[in-house]
Structure 1
């Protein structure tokens, strides 16, 4: 039982306040209901009635006694009772008053369809709603549909069929288009919500609610903008762990404002959305066509749980009854970067028996246009029987030899032999419609064209990669050395005190070196040729000379960089030329000096760019890619949200073209990838430690078999402190909560759990006595899946906390002795907790120490209540609860509900 829940810790329901009243109300009132044709009120009232809503429904309009043959009411006060859901279609100026009256009477949710509300009207509406804890969808949207509840509280031109896909859209017109398309294909929905101006209920709220909605298997989002990044990311990551989340994000085209650095120019806002969607384990598609393809896939695709121990088959095998379809699919696969599986010797031998002698003996597999049903069955069974063949795309063009329906009927059962590995493509129209229906009924995704099928597979592939990134569990590694940020802060203090924002190149190098990024030796001299020559002699020729000026950001634009200077005369000439060019091109610029550096001779090194900027929505972001003087032309870059660890840094590198060069080619050895990863981690740590960093641009960062070396860097700071962990979209590990203490002669550490704890956590859980497990979670499990352990160790510190007590193990390393976990609801009102201590240590006081740590933490977060459900025979836990001040209630015979008011 409870197979979908994390081991040992029942996941509390993420009860978004009163959203149940929105989607499953017992009663609905339509304000502004009307008989006037084509009016908003008439449309909504008609949709509500025709949808078959089974609860009480009331039309409200003071000008009519009846509407569409049913009694109409004048106002809120005249209704028989408070409607659980109100749908408001009245003029904008009336909405705030209606919300006040509804809230006072007890209504808990409203869909506001009224358009034309100005800022003052919206503010008054929200204030009224807040006084009564009434939730609002809208205003100015299309409304919502919950087909399972027969609720159509919308302006949609059509109904929605019941199903298990939830659609949340910031565009009413797109929701209408999806409904129309889905009805034509028999695809149903659990809920369809048009957010309108989303002044109250937003994407984050709905993701939280839908994540725990039993009727929803997958969530589809149409996003135009996000206003609360951390809330959205927390909700999205939680939802994506439970079910697929698909995103269409409008606005790939944008005008990038002029930037002071390459990173600023390259890190466009849409790339940041890409990074956020990926980090949350969701899938982004680019067009409505792809959206519809992905909907088709999610509606019928039943893949296996994602587990790194059993990776999803990333390769594709093509099976067709003609060469043309196979060639088209192979071309599409090449364009999409989808690898075709090489056929093994065993597979080839089996196919040689099943197919005519003149088959092409490779992938794509062409079974010929004269193939009878038996040949199809043998070929498909052979390909699905070898996991090395990956997923199989079956393509069929109708022939006069065997009806397509017979072939589909024979093949559809084979999909159960390898769930999630079979896709279908039936080319044609009426002749293959029955075959398509047979495949869809069997849960096999089905497409009209080979190219569409390959695109769908590619999207599924991307989705699985994103999910693996979401669930990745880094191997245990030595902790990165703790940095003393005192000097870095003093450096930024000094720069800002001088009224500057741009650090000089030497200052930037000092800051990066302090963070752990290797930088080239740099000497700063006065703006005189003789001083530059003297520094060059001390360093040793050849050298690099650069102009130093607060007004010159891109030195190459004014000829302010000279490479490979091998003599005193060369340095003198270069220095004089720089001074003249700056005076001519930027007469207002002040040259404060020169920097002299050794000319780094690393012939096989690659030039990389590593940078950061502060996105207005998602906060600090990290950019990585191919660097050099043509960095903006090449535009080979990828973006990630901090914080970064090793696997996330590797994933960021892997999304660039330069990653293939870093692996080495011909006589060029592979670059030291660990050093590149360490540089990315160091920059992530620096962003967390210093909120005043607004922008970093390291270009070039040389990388080769020796490691990495930063040759040039720009850093911009701001007294407004736009960065730091306060502005991270994803909270980093809260190291400030780590503490050590003496306990029974042992030095123990009490700290938040971290992803690296998976193996240690598994060992802890496997040592627990089965009876202790039953007392905590009311059931026992024999196996511990990776996905469950990942859920326990990879937590969102913004809404969940797990403190573990660890100590030295007899066999070396650390072991976990106990854990306490709490999950806050999205409103931060209540947290549900679970605690378990290793069986041989119970009664030692360790559980009390863990509870005190958790209670103190939740109080600091202003959580109001801590609750848990405890079996009645778990007397030890009930006794501890009473000693800590919990109240104990008995809602059912076998359990007790305990709660503690925190604030």
Structure 2
């Protein structure tokens, strides 16, 4: 892999500050210089007066990795061009209140000159490891493994001040502000690969584009724990909704759903932030899953009760409690912790210590430290008090045992650890846009939508809505429209009694609000009279409606069925969101909603169901059999298919859905469309925040010896196959690919190679079976990873020794070229060992240029324009 393009910005080895002459500098420039001079920067530091005289050649001697511009707004554009001309590799513009037009101009200059630009309107960055404080956010923080990205300089400063009291150390701190050039997604990508960063804290105020953010966040959260503090929960205004789904779905809940799906953990208050970061940074990547079981050890009943109460509040279950005597000593702590670690119902252990007379706090902490090497499950400590307790907390934390001052903080941190493991399972799900269920009638569905939009309508009738559901094989109750009481009688007689009558008018959002439903009509007379009664009642409630219609449909089974609500809402910037909860006429009053981003598979559908309160009623309940969960999951997957394949959907209610042991049926439906599709032509699934698994890339290739290989995109469950491919390579082949003598991929690298975000990366596998009943093996893999510029990518290719010389490398690369072009990439580049003559011959035949690499003499730099 080439060095990350943001390295000159985030970890510069040389720095030049472009500023005004002394006496003419702004307060912000003076503060910046004071911060830079307060500690020794490990690299070269040059202060450059932009008004000094000198030739460009003389100025070029000040070339640096990072140019910091501390100048008045009118001088920034010229200074940024100067920074590029003297060979600077990145730029930082500090300040505030610069207008959008100037920010856009500066971004255009930076893009034209190829300079990564942080700012303007930002408060700067810190890299404590290098002694760099190019910021306005306060003194340099202590070094460590936590990175902070914040959209607010003031909040960032407050967070850092609180962190100093907690003894937290940092790898990087960036306060972006509005209108950043290098944005959150770019920085997350850098931190995901930064070896000095062990966990990431992200403060967000808002997002304008979800897809690049989600792509980068998924990558970062897969590499290391990411905690997110989101401020600004309240909506700017009341949503004007035409469905229950639109009324229920709030921006904050949608944001929660997005974070879960990205594998990140949300904290609700800044006070929780560093406690959670402490636990996740130490325990998050050790592989032990924390679900619910928490074992407690305490020398005081009060502390244990407090911890247990808080555990119940945050969704953890106390599996066991060892309440020691008030003078409990080291041996008692050691044996109690060991016993809890051996319990199968315990996922983690919290040791609490109150400063009671006669209880040796320091010795008890030392006992935990001695015990730690033999422990497999997470161990946390809460030593309450100061003095000896504070020293014990420091000792425990330094040895890798997260330690806290209060039981609430310790239990809260463990709850975040549990959320992290749960969300990692969600992150690993990469469903396709269409499920493995029988294919829907996509052509019919799109024709229906096109017809409605051509009529300049946005709201589907109930019959149209159910027809759209039926196109996706969702069971619906049959619905026919009657123009008169006589027609209603004829329809009811044909479909069979009992029937339901419903008012049908696009001006009515919820039929129950205008008494627009009559149920369980059991004969023709009841239908005739009911038809007139229904129209009379609705006209009393809504006299402005003139052309009312009535639909007739058979009564659905209801005796033991649960009423559910399944919906969809389009919530910018995340796009479509699926909503699930209890249904019926009181859906908004009950306010039971769980949300998930599409696409879904069965695992994600089941997780969505379990997050709703109504999930407790879906098993055997009050004499009713359990709901057929397979059918309910399939219905949610069908809604996911609709969300993926129909970008025109804006709101949808399927309410009620009647679910019982026989299956599910949609009784009523209401669908709202956009006036025009949101996805540009040729950019499938751009309306989704998460790019689905690209099933369309699957194809077959024939090798020169007649063997066939199936080509498809990589998936997380390909990890064992990829490891087997690497293990089966000759030492020479392994060295040619990895420039190292490794015999197998380390777990982190293996995970990184198999769980990719298809928005930024692609890895195409060629799979082969030696016999029809044999397991698939990887014959080759070609991949690219997009550079931060979004226009170019680095590629790699690996072919199994048994498939060398069969043309597989060329076939895979040609397939990779096609994917890269479709993604909008303009160039592929890579490094090839100069001794790897076979690879150099291959890339030359594919049209790559081959040049010497100045920084790596043992490599050749290869490039191909797409």
TM score, norm. by length of structure 2: 0.92
Moved more, 90-99 or 328-337: 90-99
Match of 2:38 in 1: 50
Match of 1:777 in 2: 738
Within 2, Cα distance between the matches of 1:573 and 1:762? 72
Residue 218 of structure 1: CA displacement? 0.8
Match of 1:326 in 2: 304
- Of 781, 794, 805, the residue aligned with 1:843 is 805
- Of 225, 231, 242, the residue aligned with 1:250 is 231
Distance change (3 Å), C-alpha of 1:34 and 1:428: farther
Residue 45 of structure 1: CA displacement? 0.8
Secondary structure at 1:492's aligned position in 2?
A: helix
Match of 1:81 in 2: 62
Contact 1:764 1:838 survives alignment (8 Å) = yes
Distance change (3 Å), C-alpha of 1:655 and 1:775: same
Distance change (3 Å), C-alpha of 1:388 and 1:285: same
Moved more, 565-574 or 741-750: 741-750
Within 1, Cα distance between the matches of 2:166 and 2:21? 32
Residue 790 of structure 1: CA displacement? 5.2
RMSD: 3.0
Match of 1:735 in 2: 695
User: Within 5 A, what are the aligned runs for 1:297-446?
Assistant: 297-299=279-281, 301-306=282-287, 311-312=289-290, 314-341=292-319, 363-386=320-343, 388-418=345-375, 421-446=378-403
Residue 33 of structure 1: CA displacement? 7.2
Within 1, Cα distance between the matches of 2:462 and 2:724? 50
Contact 2:103 2:179 survives alignment (8 Å) = no
Match of 2:28 in 1: 40
Within 2, Cα distance between the matches of 1:604 and 1:787? 49
Match of 2:863 in 1: 900
Within 1, Cα distance between the matches of 2:379 and 2:671? 51
Distance change (3 Å), C-alpha of 1:14 and 1:649: farther
Contact 2:428 2:755 survives alignment (8 Å) = yes
User: Within 5 A, what are the aligned runs for 1:674-689?
Assistant: 674-689=630-645
- Of 118, 140, 146, the residue aligned with 2:121 is 140
Contact 1:545 1:596 survives alignment (8 Å) = yes
Secondary structure at 2:164's aligned position in 1?
A: helix
- Of 237, 246, 252, the residue aligned with 2:218 is 237
Match of 2:590 in 1: 634
Secondary structure at 2:578's aligned position in 1?
A: strand
Within 1, Cα distance between the matches of 2:535 and 2:57? 79
Match of 1:274 in 2: 256
Contact 1:398 1:432 survives alignment (8 Å) = yes
Match of 1:804 in 2: 765
Moved more, 256-265 or 752-761: 752-761
User: Within 5 A, what are the aligned runs for 1:73-222?
Assistant: 81-222=62-203
Within 1, Cα distance between the matches of 2:346 and 2:275? 23
Contact 2:485 2:527 survives alignment (8 Å) = yes
Residue 776 of structure 2 corresponds to residue 794 of structure 1: no
Residue 166 of structure 1: CA displacement? 0.6
Moved more, 833-842 or 155-164: 833-842
Contact 2:284 2:417 survives alignment (8 Å) = no
Moved more, 88-97 or 635-644: 88-97
Within 2, Cα distance between the matches of 1:764 and 1:97? 53
Secondary structure at 2:447's aligned position in 1?
A: helix
Residue 513 of structure 1: CA displacement? 0.8
- Of 854, 869, 872, the residue aligned with 2:816 is 854
Secondary structure at 2:313's aligned position in 1?
A: helix
Within 2, Cα distance between the matches of 1:283 and 1:625? 23
- Of 613, 625, 628, the residue aligned with 1:657 is 613
Contact 1:158 1:180 survives alignment (8 Å) = no
Match of 2:647 in 1: 691
Contact 1:818 1:847 survives alignment (8 Å) = yes
Contact 1:256 1:268 survives alignment (8 Å) = no
Distance change (3 Å), C-alpha of 1:133 and 1:836: closer
Secondary structure at 1:518's aligned position in 2?
A: coil
Within 2, Cα distance between the matches of 1:836 and 1:60? 48
Note the alpha carbon deviations across 1:723-764, whole angstroms, 9 max, x for none: 661211111122333334555656654332345656766676
Residue 302 of structure 1: CA displacement? 3.2
Contact 1:801 1:823 survives alignment (8 Å) = yes
Within 2, Cα distance between the matches of 1:77 and 1:630? 76
Contact 2:100 2:179 survives alignment (8 Å) = no
Distance change (3 Å), C-alpha of 1:700 and 1:227: same
Contact 2:168 2:274 survives alignment (8 Å) = no
Within 1, Cα distance between the matches of 2:75 and 2:772? 72
Within 1, Cα distance between the matches of 2:24 and 2:857? 57
Note the alpha carbon deviations across 1:770-820, whole angstroms, 9 max, x for none: 664454334566667887665444321111112223456634387344332
Note the alpha carbon deviations across 1:816-843, whole angstroms, 9 max, x for none: 4433222222323433333334443332
Within 2, Cα distance between the matches of 1:779 and 1:480? 44
Residue 572 of structure 2 corresponds to residue 616 of structure 1: yes
Match of 1:358 in 2: none
Distance change (3 Å), C-alpha of 1:332 and 1:540: same
Secondary structure at 2:762's aligned position in 1?
A: strand
Match of 1:292 in 2: 274
Contact 1:764 1:815 survives alignment (8 Å) = no
Moved more, 108-117 or 544-553: 108-117
Residue 272 of structure 1: CA displacement? 1.3
Within 2, Cα distance between the matches of 1:311 and 1:781? 29
Distance change (3 Å), C-alpha of 1:770 and 1:267: farther
Match of 1:467 in 2: 424
Contact 1:855 1:902 survives alignment (8 Å) = no
Residue 265 of structure 1: CA displacement? 0.8
Moved more, 648-657 or 748-757: 748-757
Distance change (3 Å), C-alpha of 1:780 and 1:598: farther
Within 2, Cα distance between the matches of 1:717 and 1:472? 28
Within 2, Cα distance between the matches of 1:436 and 1:486? 64
Note the alpha carbon deviations across 1:501-524, whole angstroms, 9 max, x for none: 111011111111111211112222
Query: How many residues matched?
Result: 857
Within 2, Cα distance between the matches of 1:852 and 1:471? 28
Within 1, Cα distance between the matches of 2:57 and 2:551? 76
User: Within 5 A, what are the aligned runs for 1:546-585?
Assistant: 546-585=502-541
Note the alpha carbon deviations across 1:626-670, whole angstroms, 9 max, x for none: 211111122211211112222222222222122222233353322
Match of 2:19 in 1: 31
User: Within 5 A, what are the aligned runs for 1:431-510?
Assistant: 431-472=388-429, 479-510=436-467
Within 2, Cα distance between the matches of 1:847 and 1:59? 51
Within 1, Cα distance between the matches of 2:859 and 2:751? 29
| Structure 2 unmatched ranges of 5 or more | none
Contact 1:34 1:41 survives alignment (8 Å) = no
Within 1, Cα distance between the matches of 2:751 and 2:439? 26
| Structure 1 unmatched ranges of 5 or more | 1-11, 66-71, 342-362
TM score, norm. by length of structure 1: 0.89
